[in-house]
């Protein structure tokens, strides 16, 4: 087991990574001085797989514990589901001295985190992320959210959990598609800040269906990188955390151009990263060899490197919609392997040229 800390407001919030941690949930809650009643919030996919182990562990450490299951899917990350959670919290007698435990992927950690942050102005929270993406990204950094029908993640707040428990054992049941999406965010972390993680990924058996054998090391590195960005800019105010958006400006625009259908977030980010690397070369920030190196790594991870049929104008207009929302559009460029910088977005023709180069040849 490894321990990393997320630091905000001078408080260190531990993240534990390793195998077999679910069975230790009860002792960990007790060690942190957390109290009953414990609400285990999970979903209809993860609950049947892992809630029993968590609830048994929590009860055998002497806590009262209830399970709350929400339906599976991004569309349930809504105010409506949040209301159902508040109803159950009230019914189960949750008060400020109780504890919310979120067991699931990023959807569950985001909405359970949001409800824990807002119910009675804040109840202690423990996150138990069960997807690769949530272990290295969504559960690390204190962001909670629900979606508005017109905008993702638009309702939320910063709320740091008392503890994050990343049990790698849970990744064994993850679909290859979800695993790839997690790898995409790990590759992003490597690209913007760690030549070491980049080499580690290049030397790992990423093609293996069960994931590379050094996954533990890879997760540990990725969590440490995210935790470091969060420590330097916990509330996303200085622009440091904005570097984590590498590949996301174009990635989000692609997701939107595909109507959030047919292209998963991690796949869109993979395409966005490759385009951003090409743009970094044409904007004279990056040596020309790097995009081919990134392309090879993405391909080996099973991630796309060619853009399926899409109207480029839709992609550009999705990006300018973002610009309307946030004023001047910034863009994350690479300046070397493991180095990134934030600057003004490139002109549309530079973006289109990079995307056209990546258009699917079939
Ligand atoms: N808060 C943040 O900083 C942050 C960062 C990145 C993403 N997010 C959010 O996270 C969400 C995406 O997270 P995600 O990719 O984990 O998606 P998800 O939570 O939808 O999980 C993906 C799928 O895998 C299933 N699943 C989860 N764990 C499993 C397991 N161990 N075995 C088998 N199936 C399992 C889920 O039920 C779901 O069907 C989005 O809502 C996104 O906005 C938040
Ligand atoms: Zn992302």
Query: Is 341 in the same domain as 274?
Result: yes
- Shortest CA distance to 249 belongs to which of 120, 166, 342, 183? 342
Single pTM value for the model: 0.96
Section 4-11 average pLDDT: 95
Contacts by 236-239 with C-beta closer than 8 Å and gap 24+?
239/342
Number of domain units in the chain: 2
Is-contact 98 39, C-beta < 8 A? yes
Tell me what percent of the residues of the chain surpass a pLDDT of 70: 98
Q: Which two tokens stand for residue 108?
A: 């569950």
Query: Is 69 in the same domain as 199?
Result: no
- According to the model, what pLDDT value does residue 317 have? 87
- Nearest bound ligand to the CA of residue 244: 2
CATH number for 37: 3.40.50.1970
Which residue's CA is the nearest one to ligand 1's atom 6? 138
What's CA 138's distance to the chain center, in Å? 3
Judged by average pLDDT, the poorest of 195-199, 283-287, 324-328, 335-339 is: 324-328
Name the domain boundary from 135, 152, 173.
173
Is-contact 70 136, C-beta < 8 A? no
Name the domain boundary from 127, 158, 173.
173
Query: Is 107 in the same domain as 197?
Result: no
Question: Residue 30: which pLDDT band, with cuts at 50, 70 and 90?
Answer: very high
Query: Is 181 in the same domain as 169?
Result: no
Residue 161 located in a structural domain: yes
Residue 59 located in a structural domain: yes
**Cα 19 to averaged position of ligand 1 atoms, centre (Å):** 19
273 is in which domain, residue-wise?
176-357
**In the predicted model, is pLDDT for residue 55 greater than 60?**
yes
Judged by average pLDDT, the poorest of 73-87, 195-209, 274-288 is: 195-209
pLDDT digits (tens, 9 = 90+) for 226-244: 999 999 999 999 999 999 9
- According to the model, what pLDDT value does residue 253 have? 93
CATH number for 324: 1.20.1090.10
- According to the model, what pLDDT value does residue 207 have? 87
The ligand 1 atom at the shortest distance from the C-alpha of residue 143 is 1
Tell which one of 106, 135, 154 to mutate to probe ligand 1, the residue whose CB is within 8 A of the most ligand atoms.
106
Name the domain boundary from 141, 173, 205.
173
Query: Is 138 in the same domain as 207?
Result: no
Q: How high is the mean pLDDT of the chain?
A: 95
Pocket lining for ligand 1, CB < 6 angstroms: 43, 45-46, 49, 72, 74, 77, 104-108, 110, 130-131, 133-134, 137-138, 141, 143, 153, 170, 173-174, 178, 181
Question: Residue 141: which pLDDT band, with cuts at 50, 70 and 90?
Answer: very high
- According to the model, what pLDDT value does residue 310 have? 85
The ligand 1 atom at the shortest distance from the C-alpha of residue 185 is 6
**In the predicted model, is pLDDT for residue 328 greater than 80?**
no
Which residue's CA is the nearest one to ligand 1's atom 8? 138
Cα gap 51→42, rounded to integer Å: 7
Query: Is 306 in the same domain as 346?
Result: yes
Query: Is 152 in the same domain as 273?
Result: no
Residue 13 located in a structural domain: yes
Query: Is 46 in the same domain as 185?
Result: no
Residue 362 located in a structural domain: no
Judged by average pLDDT, the poorest of 83-92, 289-298, 322-331 is: 322-331
Query: Is 206 in the same domain as 119?
Result: no
What's CA 4's distance to the chain center, in Å? 17
Cα gap 175→164, rounded to integer Å: 22
Query: Is 198 in the same domain as 103?
Result: no
Query: Is 45 in the same domain as 180?
Result: no
Residue 102 located in a structural domain: yes
Query: Is 209 in the same domain as 249?
Result: yes
- According to the model, what pLDDT value does residue 323 have? 57
Section 39-51 average pLDDT: 98
**In the predicted model, is pLDDT for residue 324 greater than 60?**
no
What's CA 216's distance to the chain center, in Å? 17
Section 75-82 average pLDDT: 98
- Shortest CA distance to 244 belongs to which of 332, 161, 335, 338? 332
CA angle 113, 114, 118 (to 5 degrees): 115
Section 46-58 average pLDDT: 98
**Mapped to the 3 state alphabet, what secondary structure does the chain carry?**
CEEEEEEECCEEEEEEEECCCHHHHHHHHHHCCCCCCEEEEEECCHHHHHHHHHHHHHHHCCCCEEEEEECCCHHHCEHHHHHHHHHHHHHCCCCCCCEEEEEECHHHHHHHHHHHHHHHHCCCEEEEECCHHHHHHHCCCCEEEEEECCEEEEEEEECCCCEEEEEHHHHHHCCHHHHHHHHHHHHHHHHHHCHHHHHHHHCCCCCCCCCCCCHHHHHHHHHHHHHHHHHHCCCCCCCCHHHHHCCHHHHHHHHHHCCCCCCCHHHHHHHHHHHHHHHHHHCCCCCCCHHHHHHHHHHHCCCCCCECCCCHHHHHHHHHHHHHHHCCCEEEEEEECCEEEEEECCCHHHHHHHHHHCECCC
């Amino acid at each position: 087991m490894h321990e990393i800390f997320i630091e905000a407001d001078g408080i260190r919030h531990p993240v534990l990574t390793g195998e077999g941690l679910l069975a230790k949930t009860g002792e960990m809650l007790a060690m942190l001085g957390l109290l009953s009643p414990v609400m285990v919030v999970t979903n209809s996919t993860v609950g049947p797989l892992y809630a029993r182990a968590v609830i048994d562990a929590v009860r055998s450490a002497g806590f009262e514990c209830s399970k709350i299951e929400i339906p599976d899917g991004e569309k349930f990350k809504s105010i409506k589901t949040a209301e159902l959670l508040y109803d159950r919290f009230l019914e189960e007698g949750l008060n400020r001295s109780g504890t919310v435990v979120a067991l699931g992927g990023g959807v569950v950690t985001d909405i359970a985190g949001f409800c824990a942050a807002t119910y009675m102005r804040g109840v202690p929270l423990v996150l138990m992320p069960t997807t690769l993406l949530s272990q290295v990204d969504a559960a690390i950094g204190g962001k909670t959210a629900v979606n508005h029908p017109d905008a993702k993640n638009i309702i939320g707040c910063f709320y740091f959990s008392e503890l994050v428990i990343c049990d790698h054992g849970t990744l064994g049941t993850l679909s290859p598609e979800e695993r790839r999406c997690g790898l995409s965010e790990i590759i992003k972390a490597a690209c913007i800040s760690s030549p070491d993680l980049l080499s580690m990924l290049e030397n790992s058996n990423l093609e293996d269906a069960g994931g590379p054998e050094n996954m533990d090391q890879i997760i540990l590195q990725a969590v440490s990188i995210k935790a470091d960005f969060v420590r330097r800019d916990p509330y996303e105010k200085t622009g440091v955390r904005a570097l984590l958006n590498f590949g996301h400006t174009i990635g989000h625009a692609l997701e939107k151009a595909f109507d959030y259908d047919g292209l998963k977030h991690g796949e869109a980010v993979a395409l966005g990263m490759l385009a951003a690397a090409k743009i970094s070369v044409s904007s004279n920030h990056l040596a020309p060899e790097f995009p081919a190196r990134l392309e090879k790594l993405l391909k080996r991870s099973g991630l796309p490197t060619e853009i399926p049929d899409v109207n480029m104008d839709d992609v550009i207009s999705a990006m300018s919609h973002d610009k309307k929302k946030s004023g001047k559009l910034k863009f994350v460029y690479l300046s070397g392997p493991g180095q990134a910088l934030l600057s003004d977005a490139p002109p549309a023709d530079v973006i289109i040229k990079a995307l056209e180069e990546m258009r699917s040849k079939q």
